[in-house]
């Protein structure tokens, strides 16, 4: 999908880019699959700020996306490729032969009019969903389940994909985008192909206003604060913190591991490569 640039009529236009939407179907979202989205502004049930720098943004409607792909053996035709304001990936609207409609993540190469199928008997074609035991090694997949029947949890954002490396007994080895190798049960489902809208990561917002449309408020640097507000604050003149980077609550960041899930540690075969 090509990226559109603009003539520098203003300072922000000079750096602003957007994605061309030639691949999208010019239509409103399917009303039966949309619900209203309530915004919290980063506040919890007590009204206190739980997540900083959230609030505002454009009004959105939530699309109900089928991550489980549990209509096995029922063919469906792609009726539209649609924009979703709640995620970086595009959505494909499926019309099943029994009359039901569902949204799925739109992979690269899935076009309007194509037929997709889910279940063990489905072919290895883009958009089809199968258990890992029925997918040949080396295949590029996305929307991978971690527990059978729970629905896809891995590789769901724009351009994401997972490679099925091999199968050993009841488990399959998959290589994640972070280069981490993980074991997943062979009964877990995955969808063939790579998530579409690959150029999403190359878009330059260009101005502060486009960030505010997304509901992100200005983010203050710790070094610009007072010592009472942040560990990096204070000092005479401009300073760079004077210590290793930490969060406002003193926890180290940039390379500090925070994973604490011993229950699934044995599922990770190879850790992601260290950044240099």
Q: What is the pLDDT of residue 246?
A: 96
177-232 confidence digits (pLDDT tens): 999 999 999 999 999 999 999 999 999 999 999 999 999 999 999 999 999 999 99
- The reported pLDDT for the residue numbered 33 is 96
Q: Judge whether residue 27 has pLDDT over 80.
A: yes
Q: Where are the beta strands (DSSP E) in the chain?
A: 3-5, 17-19, 34-36, 61-63, 76-82, 91-96, 101-105, 115-116, 129-131, 140-142, 144-145, 152-154, 162-168, 171-175, 181-185, 189-192, 268-270
pLDDT at 93 over 70: yes
Lowest mean pLDDT among 17-21, 22-26, 127-131, 270-274: 270-274
Write the DSSP string, 152-198. Answer: EEES-STT--EEEEEEETTEEEEE-TTS-EEEEETTSEEEES-BS-G
Domains of the chain and any CATH numbers = 3-38+57-201 (2.30.30.30)
**What pLDDT, on the 0 to 100 scale, is given for residue 273?**
65
Contact 105, 140 (CB under 8 A): no
Statement: the pTM of the whole predicted model exceeds 0.85? yes
What confidence score (pLDDT) does residue 261 get?
93
237-258: average pLDDT:
92
Residue 241: which pLDDT band, with cuts at 50, 70 and 90?
A: confident
Q: Percent of the chain scored above 70 by pLDDT? A: 98
């Amino acid at each position: 999908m090509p990226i559109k640039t603009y003539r520098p009529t203003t300072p922000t236009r000079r750096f602003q880019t957007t994605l061309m939407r030639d691949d999208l179907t010019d239509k409103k979202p399917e009303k039966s699959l949309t619900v209203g989205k309530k915004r919290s502004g980063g506040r919890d049930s007590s009204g206190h700020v739980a997540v900083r720098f959230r609030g505002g943004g454009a009004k959105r409607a939530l699309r109900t996306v089928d991550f489980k792909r549990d209509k096995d053996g029922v063919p469906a035709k792609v009726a539209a490729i649609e924009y979703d304001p709640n995620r970086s990936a595009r959505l494909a609207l499926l019309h099943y032969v029994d009359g039901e409609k569902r949204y799925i993540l739109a992979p690269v190469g899935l076009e309007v009019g194509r037929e997709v199928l889910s279940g063990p008997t489905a072919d290895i074609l883009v958009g089809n969903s199968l258990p890992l035991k029925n997918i040949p090694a080396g295949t590029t997949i996305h929307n991978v389940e971690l527990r059978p029947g729970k629905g896809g949890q891995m590789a769901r954002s724009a351009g994401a994909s997972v490679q099925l490396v091999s199968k050993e007994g009841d488990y399959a080895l998959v290589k994640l985008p972070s280069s981490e190798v993980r074991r997943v049960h062979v009964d877990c489902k995955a969808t063939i192909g790579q998530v579409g809208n690959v150029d999403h990561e190359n878009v330059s917002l260009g101005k502060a206003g486009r960030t505010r449309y997304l509901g992100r408020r200005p983010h203050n640097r710790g070094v610009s604060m007072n010592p009472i507000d942040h560990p990096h604050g204070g000092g005479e003149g401009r300073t760079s913190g004077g210590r290793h980077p930490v969060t406002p609550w003193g926890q180290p960041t940039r390379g500090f591991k925070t994973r604490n899930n011993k229950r699934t540690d044995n599922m990770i075969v190879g850790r992601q490569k260290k950044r240099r």
